[in-house]
Amino acid sequence: MTRIKNPTDAEEAAIQRQIASDPDAPEATDQQLRKAKPFAAAFPDLMNSIKRARGRPKLAAPKEAVTLRLDPAVVSAFRATGGEWRANMGKVLEQAAAKTLSSGKGRGSAKDVKSIAASAMTAKGRGDHQPTTSSEPKRRPKG
């Protein structure tokens, strides 16, 4: 690898003369440097207009991650519905919550939730599928 050679004193002097004579880039004076402000302080409106939000936009009501211990038969039934079984489970839970709240009970029974889950799954025509085992590939039913 070739090393970069430092310029000689004469070459350095020529470079500095060219820099000093450049009308497009005059060197800042000490007074200008004392008056200098950060860009955001000097132009706050412009700074706010060009700020770019990072990442995914914030949702008004983001979903909450929870951990549940569920009956294996319930999980198997939802898994049998196909690739979006978690979304299906969420929809059934939303329906059960809406029904419970609209009935004025305040608290629903497990029987209510199971009956709503069963009706929601059979309404989609997916309640009669057998769950796959862990050794079989999980496939969506045709139709």
Distance CA 140, CA 116 (A): 22
With CA atoms as reference, report the closest residue to 89 among 76, 108, 107.
76
Q: What is the mean pLDDT of the chain?
A: 80
Is residue 108 within 8 A of residue 100, CB to CB? The reply is yes
Query: Which residues contact residue 12 at a Cβ distance below 8 angstroms, ignoring those fewer than 6 apart?
Result: none
Of the listed ranges 56-60, 74-78, 123-127, the least confidently predicted one is 123-127
pLDDT at 118: 64
pTM comes to 0.39
Note the pLDDT tens digit of each residue in 86-121: 999 999 998 888 888 777 766 555 556 556 666 666
What token pair was written down for 139? 């496939």
State what percent of residues in the chain have pLDDT above 70: 72
SS3 4: coil
